[in-house]
Copies of this chain bind each other. A is one copy, B any other.
Amino acid sequence: MAMATSPHSLLLQNPNTQFLKNTKIPFTTIPMTSTRLTLNPNKAISVKCSATTTHIQDRPPAQPQSQDRVFNFAAGPANLPENVLLKAQSELYNWRGSGMSVMEMSHRGKEFLSIIQKAEADLRTLLNIPPEYSVLFLQGGATTLFAAIPLNLCKPDDKVDYVVTGSWGDKAFKEAQKYSQPKVIWSGKSEKYTKIPAFEELEQSPDAKYLHICANETIHGVEFKTYPNPKNGLLIADMSSNFCSKPVDVSKFGIIYAGAQKNVGPSGVTVVIIRKDLIGNAQEITPVMLDFKIHDENKSLYNTPPCYGIYMCGLVFEDLLEQGGLGEIEKKNKRKADLLYNAIDESKGFYRCPVEKSVRSLMNVPFTLEKPELEAEFVKEAAKEKMVQLKGHRSVGGMRASIYNAMPLAGVEKLVAFMKDFQAKHA
Contacts and interface: CB of A to CB of B under 8 A. Distances in A.
Interface string A53-73: 000101111111110111010
A202 interface: no
A303 B218 CA distance: 13
A146 to B, nearest CB: 7
Interface stretch (A29-37, A128-136, A249-257): A29-37
A414 interface: no
A27 interface: yes
25 contacts: A10-B45, A11-B58, A13-B59, A20-B90, A23-B83, A34-B38, A34-B39, A69-B99, A72-B99, A77-B304, A78-B104, A78-B106, A80-B104, A85-B93, A89-B89, A103-B266, A107-B267, A139-B141, A139-B306, A140-B289, A146-B288, A151-B287, A268-B308, A287-B287, A306-B309
Nearest to A49: B39
Interface stretch (A1-9, A205-213, A374-382): A1-9
Interface of A: 1, 4-5, 7-15, 18-24, 26-27, 32-42, 45, 47, 56, 58-66, 68-70, 72, 74-80, 82-83, 85-94, 97-101, 103-107, 109, 139-144, 146-148, 151, 175, 178-179, 259, 261, 265-269, 284-285, 287-290, 302-309, 312, 386, 388-389
A7 B93 contact: no
Given A15-B13, A86-B22, A99 B74 contact: no
Contacts of A11: 58-59, 61
A33 B41 contact: yes
Nearest to A22: B83
Contacts of A267: 103, 107, 304-308
Nearest to A56: B12
A70 B99 contact: yes
Chain A interface helix/strand/loop/mixed: loop
B74 A19 contact: no
Nearest to A19: B90
A312 B60 CA distance: 32
A43 B284 CA distance: 70
As for how many copies of this chain the complex holds, the number is 2
B80 A88 contact: no
Contacts of A98: 70
Contacts of A287: 144, 146-148, 151, 175, 178, 287, 290
A90 to B, nearest CB: 3
B106 A303 contact: no
A42 B7 contact: yes
A8 B58 CA distance: 12
Nearest to A90: B19
Contacts of A285: 178-179, 285
Nearest to A4: B61
Given A34-B39, A61-B4, A89-B89, A104 B23 contact: no
Nearest to A69: B99
Contacts of A33: 41
B106 A64 contact: no
A76 to B, nearest CB: 7
Contacts of A259: 304
Given A61-B4, A93-B85, A302-B143, A77 B35 contact: no
A411 B308 CA distance: 24
Contact of A19 (B10, B23, B86, B148): B86
